[in-house]
Structure 1
């Protein structure tokens, strides 16, 4: 792929954001060709991850002065969305890779972030996630002068075939959450292939075991550390926003698949008395409702992306009120994309007909992927946050999920 190899770490100026999205589209088309079969197989999409490495898009959010693209967050999130139209599992780990790079900036020192982001660009590192703050089995303990992590972490999306991991643990000495950036290949780290859920089957979101994994002091992200400042508390906002764009990409991909199928293969309904499916008033009604829900979700997602970019640019000047407004915009998009996506991935079968339910078509993957992921963080709690804001003007309290 000519575009896929367009950006390499060779000292030249990074391409324009527009070309990044063109590469994302090329990758999306390539991933679509094998998406159904890979969904059946599960496991790690190593070839596809390597294509992402070669594409240069792993450096999309890295600062330009470190050799990255320096793309604003709306462009990064649009790339996630475009890939998700074809393959939401790959889009998920791609988006979380950029979330891990942002974690270096949000939780660590400027020196740590610069060094690790520069290495990411030069060595084409793929970052995986082993943070999951709700799983407290991993402990940071002192063994003489050394720090080691022992235990396990669940829901470690993208850990398999990654080069680096963001790992969290509970510090035995302080009972506080600590976060570190460590090589995935370090002795004592075992990435298990135990992810066996009905959707997002190639995200490798299973378990990472940590058997006395040594952690150097300069690998701990403690300045300011997890949620240690208002700016640091943007991390959960970005995590939510990545998911918003994965959900939106799934819905867009599902609607486009349904449209092609209806136009090419849908037979007239018996009750329609010969009226073609493309003119059937009930089919048109369904498409109108699905399009409207998707259009509203898309506008809210774009607004949330712009709000996050504005908050990001504030840096350490970010106020709690500005952070709260950003969180509300993202919660609105999260609810809208979840609802519209579930409506489309279920309702698409009404407009495609019974023949679309064959296993070979693989149309169920859109619903399975979205349904699996939307349960990660129950959207009812986001609606409650929106209600508290609408009624009482209360902004969400920063946590790892809001």
Structure 2
């Protein structure tokens, strides 16, 4: 099947500048009460309204349907900026970009326009119930339609968004044996949001379990079919690339907050040759180390973000080699952003001192967020992906993780 790409070329300087400014404004709003909202552990309904009002939810949708007409580089930078203030909301936005972009990657060409128009007109936020290590959804043929049954854990954005993208195995009918993506409105009969997300971090990512009990699904609700087409499967390096930007953003936020706290500290350690902590050579050494590491990760992220746009623009001309090359590039970013991000968020306390461990300061939020989300899939397997490629030119089998 020939698929055009709704994304062409790469982001201009003016486009990036625009979306950076929008994201920075939203991040500033989120930063005001990020810790308070984290502790309430509620679905981010008001936060998603802020994303809708800013235009960020429509950034990637084609301009021909009323969307922002932006590129992946702009979207990923926006996710990174939000992560500096609130990685939970950034995660929901990142998953929304990935979920809704299945319209362009996986939907049949004759229905893409309709899906995009409805999504843009409603400013929909797309949540998901796709978790590939929890394959428990079955879509059973029932008359002219289907019934969806099963339980999905780790359903990011599902309970707070407008629609849920669900991956299910079809039993019976003309689609028997296919794994399909169905798009269901939030309040569809038979969908129950269990509200059981109670993790160490990413507490506002609306990532609880969803139970589907005899949910009616029409043929028109089916967006597309899971296949091994290289273009359709750019979705996986896309979400992994979003993770890399989230981890970088969290680390940048941790360092910025650490610098703010350190500059406000009076005096210095009694053995220090300096009068203030900000002038202490050991403090400056740690800051220099962190800042340099993050500059390197940022350069790699910017390069990889733009490279992803270049591959996406190929559409149906995307080859397995094209996909493989960006998969490896993204895996490299995932490795370094995970390790540097955790390192910075963990060791930031070395420059801020014992007073910064007070609960009211909330500096732990950065570490809790990145520590939680970086367990999504083991980073050691990303190292293996890179190593197998470098040594043997071997790519991992296409999956929703590789």
Q: Distance in 2 between matches of 1:392 and 1:233?
A: 23
Contact 2:162–2:186, Cα closer than 8 Å, also in 1:
yes
Secondary structure of the residue that 1:278 maps to in structure 2? helix
Q: CA deviation at 1:16?
A: 4.7
Picking from 211, 222, 231, the partner of 1:220 is 222
Secondary structure of the residue that 1:185 maps to in structure 2? coil
Residue in 2 that maps onto 1:134: 133
CA 394–273 in structure 1, closer or farther in 2 if over 3 Å, else same? same
- How far does the alpha carbon of each residue in 1:76-125 deviate from its partner, in whole angstroms, 9 at most, with x for none? 11111111110000000011111111112212112333212211211111
Structure 2 residues without counterparts, runs of 5 or longer: 1-13
Q: CA deviation at 1:228?
A: 3.5
Q: CA deviation at 1:17?
A: 4.7
Residue in 2 that maps onto 1:295: 295
1:116-195 to structure 2, matched below 5 A, reads 116-173=115-172, 174-195=176-197
Q: Distance in 2 between matches of 1:327 and 1:216?
A: 34
Q: Distance in 2 between matches of 1:53 and 1:72?
A: 18
Contact 1:266–1:352, Cα closer than 8 Å, also in 2:
no
Secondary structure of the residue that 1:212 maps to in structure 2? strand
Q: CA deviation at 1:29?
A: 0.2
Q: Distance in 2 between matches of 1:17 and 1:352?
A: 33
Q: CA deviation at 1:273?
A: 4.6
Contact 1:130–1:208, Cα closer than 8 Å, also in 2:
yes
Q: CA deviation at 1:353?
A: 0.5
| Structure 1 residue 32 corresponds to structure 2 residue 31 | yes
Secondary structure of the residue that 1:272 maps to in structure 2? coil
Secondary structure of the residue that 1:233 maps to in structure 2? helix
Residue in 2 that maps onto 1:346: 346
Residue in 1 that maps onto 2:387: 387
TM-score by length of 2: 0.93
Q: Distance in 2 between matches of 1:37 and 1:328?
A: 38
Structure 1 residues without counterparts, runs of 5 or longer: 1-14
Residue in 2 that maps onto 1:205: 207
CA 233–266 in structure 1, closer or farther in 2 if over 3 Å, else same? farther
In the alignment of these two chains, the number of paired residues is 386
TM-score by length of 1: 0.93
Contact 1:327–1:396, Cα closer than 8 Å, also in 2:
no
Contact 2:283–2:351, Cα closer than 8 Å, also in 1:
yes
Residue in 1 that maps onto 2:9: none
Q: Which structure is richer in relative contact order (CA contacts within 8 A, separation 6 or more)?
A: 2
Residue in 1 that maps onto 2:93: 94
Contact 1:303–1:329, Cα closer than 8 Å, also in 2:
no
Residue in 1 that maps onto 2:320: 320
Secondary structure of the residue that 1:128 maps to in structure 2? strand
Contact 2:148–2:212, Cα closer than 8 Å, also in 1:
yes
Q: Distance in 2 between matches of 1:213 and 1:172?
A: 15
Q: CA deviation at 1:227?
A: 3.3
